[in-house]
């Protein structure tokens, strides 16, 4: 496996874990934040398996991220994390059944183009 492919896979692993963690957090809190006191929300969060899973996934994400950072420049790796925005929107649509506006889809496309422009030379 080439050095570039390893970096790409590590960054994809990091972004995937980031997106997965965010979905877990959303599933854990649900819509409980609306009209719920802070102590009540905190109690719910501390007892949520989804929240605990999200924290565990974030721990794995740090391993991917640190491994990627040890192999490439921060100025190459960090822009790649913007793909997390793309992943969150896709997961929100497919898993959480959220509605995504046309404007947001255009924004997501812009992010993808931006990431390709900033990091593309490294991974082509």
pLDDT tens digits, 87-109: 999 999 999 999 999 999 999 99
d(CA 110, CA 86): 10
Record the pTM. Answer: 0.86
Residue 95 carries which DSSP code? T
Q: Give the pLDDT of residue 31.
A: 61
Counting as low any pLDDT under 70, the low residues of the chain are 31-35, 121-124
Give the SS3 label for residue 41.
helix
Q: Give the pLDDT of residue 50.
A: 92
d(CA 84, CA 97): 18
Q: Give the pLDDT of residue 124.
A: 53
Kindly report the CA angle at 118 between 112 and 119, in degrees rounded to 5?
85
């Amino acid at each position: 496996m080439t050095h570039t492919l390893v970096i790409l896979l590590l960054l994809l692993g990091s972004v995937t874990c980031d997106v997965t963690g965010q979905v877990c957090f959303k599933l854990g809190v649900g819509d409980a934040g609306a009209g719920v006191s802070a102590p009540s929300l905190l109690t719910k969060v501390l007892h949520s398996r989804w929240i605990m899973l999200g924290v565990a996934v974030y721990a794995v994400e740090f391993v991917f991220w640190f491994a990627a950072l040890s192999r490439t420049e921060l100025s190459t790796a960090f822009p790649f994390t913007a793909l997390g925005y793309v992943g969150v929107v896709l997961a929100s649509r497919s898993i959480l059944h959220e509605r995504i506006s046309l404007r947001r889809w255009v924004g997501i496309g812009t992010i993808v183009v931006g990431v390709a422009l900033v990091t593309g030379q490294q991974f082509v």
